[in-house]
């Protein structure tokens, strides 16, 4: 078998597993008829997306499967910490906020890696990714300390590891 055929089959299998899990979680009914109809609809959708040629390494990034969950846990913790910092600034008033705009380098090799990095920055309260230009991201932050924290590179390294 060719490598592209194996990759295509792996991505199609990932679509089947994802759609089946969503079907089972959202259905709530597990009678043979409903399960059969769900299975047929999952196969039909998988066939359609395969025919449309939209199943690839970006739409179904199977290489992220294991490494993404520890990253999500870390990112969730960073979101909580950023929220607490922002709450302190709100209570302290306008003088505690010192907004800034900065360019940050990104070490990700793929577009999806850079998108994950940019979205992770935007998810942490008080920071927004304004633009992605090649290997640099334009960031707006309410606190200059947030940019300093991003410049330390921990989030960049973690996203690169997931990638």
pLDDT digits (tens, 9 = 90+) for 32-49: 998 999 999 999 998 888
Same domain (yes/no): 41, 68: no
Query: Rounded CA gap, 32 and 109, in Å?
Result: 46
Whether 59 shows a pLDDT value over 60: the answer reads no
Instruction: Pick the closest to residue 45 from 24, 65, 72, 17 (CA basis).
Output: 17
Of the residues 40, 60, 80, which one is the last residue of a structural domain? 60
Contacting residues for 144 by C-beta, under 8 A, at least 6 apart: 98, 100
pTM of the model: 0.67
Domain coverage including residue 111: 64-162
One domain, residues 39 and 113? no
Count of domains forming the chain: 2
83-109: average pLDDT: 91
């Amino acid at each position: 078998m060719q490598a592209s055929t194996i990759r295509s089959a792996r991505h199609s299998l990932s679509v089947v597993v994802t759609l089946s899990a969503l079907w089972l979680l959202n259905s709530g009914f597990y009678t043979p008829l409903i399960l059969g109809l769900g299975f047929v609809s999952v196969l039909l959708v998988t066939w359609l997306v395969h025919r449309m040629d939209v199943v690839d390494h970006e739409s179904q990034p199977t290489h992220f499967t294991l490494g993404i969950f520890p990253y999500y846990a870390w990112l969730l913790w960073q979101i909580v910490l950023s929220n607490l910092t922002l709450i302190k600034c709100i209570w302290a008033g306008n003088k505690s906020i010192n907004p800034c705009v900065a360019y940050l380098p990104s070490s990700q090799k793929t577009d999806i890696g850079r998108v994950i990095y940019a979205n992770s920055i935007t998810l942490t309260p008080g920071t927004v990714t304004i633009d992605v230009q090649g290997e640099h991201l334009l960031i707006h932050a309410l606190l200059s300390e947030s940019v300093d924290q991003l410049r330390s590179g921990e989030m960049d390294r973690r996203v690169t590891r997931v990638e």
